[in-house]
Amino acid sequence: MKKTSYWSLIALSLMVIMSSCKDKNKDDTKEEFKKEEILSNLADNYIIPGYADLQTRLNTLSDSWNTFVASPSQTTLDAVRADWQTANVSFHRVKLIEVGPAMNVGLGSALGTFPADTAQIETNITAGTYNLATAENIDAIGFESLDFLFYGSDCLNKLTNSSARRTYATDIISKMRNEVNQVVSDWSTYRSTFIAGTGTSSTSAFSVLVNAFCKDFELAKTAKLGIPIGTQSLGIQQPAYLEARRSGLGKTLLQTNVEAVHDVFLGMSLSGSSNGQGFDDYLSALDKGSLSSTIDARFAYMESQPASWSGTIENMMASSPTTLMDYYNYMQGTVVYLKTDMAAAFGVLITYQDNDGD
């Protein structure tokens, strides 16, 4: 019996040692994943090129606007509108990166707040003096204000016959360019700080990025779709809250927003030509491959749906409100996978607040 117990003890000890080694190897595999690879891939292949593209698009918009100012016509206004749309789409590819330089200048709010306060815009134009950097003008600047000036009722006549109106549009575009130029410049030095910020403290670049990622998706869900279709007003539609309502670009901006969040999740380059390290790879390394696949599939579905919608979101609010509500609910269901499951897997605390019950 003693001999049997002795060898049984040896066998048990070996099993424990082997199991410990297996667990250690498993932990080592997780530790081998370098979050620096996610951050460096995003910085070099998505963020920095994205801001550079936005800078270029705004410069082009400025040029076409100057052409209109020199020679107002429907043709030159149409060129301005086309460049405004291109620049707005470019902005929607990077606005979720509310980290570092963009956070410091409040780029998302400065360029993307909607709807525009048209009364404040008209007051500023009439006064001829204003400070576009003040809080009272946050709804009177950015892409949405240009949507009002470039697409509003009788806008060609108003722009042609009002130098004050043209000056106001010039000042908005100049402000946008200056802020994006600052972000582009600051990223040249912030890049190393961003890549080194792999910790999970609330101030680390990785944690701030995860928070910005989740927050931007929630804002798209709530502001671009939920509020207009009535989810915050007992089912009563609120078309006045639609983004880019006058131009009808809102559907494109919603789709671009979803695509951008998906691309960052996958670690795609801005051009879509390469797939580097992203949040999906980190989830897989953490044995969360099923969660990664679920998030990927949900984003793919959300990207494809708007292409099948007929007309603008406002058109859909009248013709197919159920389709929009179903899409909103699907987005809301996706929030849980990002804000709860993914963030928890990463060990990141969600620090922002939302007010829609998610």
pLDDT average, residue stretch 13-36: 55
Phi, psi of 275 (to 5 degrees): -120, 105
CA angle 260, 265, 268 (to 5 degrees): 70
Q: What is the pLDDT of residues 200-218, one digit of tens each?
A: 999 999 999 999 999 999 9
DSSP 227-272: HHHTTTTTT---GGG-TTTTTT-HHHHHHHHHHHHHHHHHTB-TTS
How far apart are alpha carbons 84 and 56 in whole angstroms? 12
pLDDT tens digits, 81-104:
999 999 999 999 999 999 999 999
User: pLDDT tens across 138-183, in order?
Assistant: 999 999 999 999 999 999 999 999 999 999 999 999 999 999 999 9
Q: 244 with 145: CB under 8 angstroms? A: no
Taking each helix axis as running N to C, give the angle between helix 163-196 and helix 48-70, from 0 to 180 degrees, rounded to the nearest 10: 170
Whether 6 has a pLDDT exceeding 50, the answer reads no
What does the pLDDT average to over 49-63?
98
DSSP string covering 89-140: HHHHHHTT--STHHHHHTHHHHHH--S--HHHHHHHHHH----TTSGGGTTS
Residue-level pLDDT at 356: 52
Tell me which DSSP letter residue 141 carries.
S
Q: What is the pLDDT of residues 270-307, one digit of tens each?
A: 999 999 999 999 999 999 999 999 999 999 999 999 99
pLDDT of residue 33: 86
Q: What is the pLDDT of residues 227-252, one digit of tens each?
A: 999 999 999 999 999 999 999 999 99
What span, in angstroms and rounded, lies between the C-alpha atoms of 183 and 270?
Answer: 17
pTM comes to 0.90
Token representation of residue 326: 């179903």
Q: What is the mean pLDDT of the chain?
A: 92
pLDDT over 70 at 22, yes or no: no
- The distance in angstroms from the start CA to the end CA of the chain is 63
- Let me know: does 148 contact 118? Beta carbons within 8 Å: yes
| pLDDT at position 14 | 45
Q: Around Cβ 20, how many Cβ atoms within 10 Å? A: 10
CA dist 116 and 319 (Å) reads: 25
Dihedral pair phi/psi, residue 57, rounded to 5°: -65, -40
CA neighbor of 251 nearest in space, from 220, 227, 276, 272: 220
- The size of the chain, in residues, is 358
Long-range CB contacts (within 8 A, 24+) of 324-333:
324/225, 324/229, 325/229, 325/231, 327/225, 327/302, 328/221, 328/225, 328/226, 328/229, 328/231, 330/298, 330/301, 330/302, 331/217, 331/220, 331/221, 331/225, 331/302, 332/221, 332/358, 333/298
Check pLDDT > 70 for residue 184: yes
Q: For residue 357, what pLDDT is reported?
A: 45
- The pLDDT of 3-17, averaged and rounded, is 46
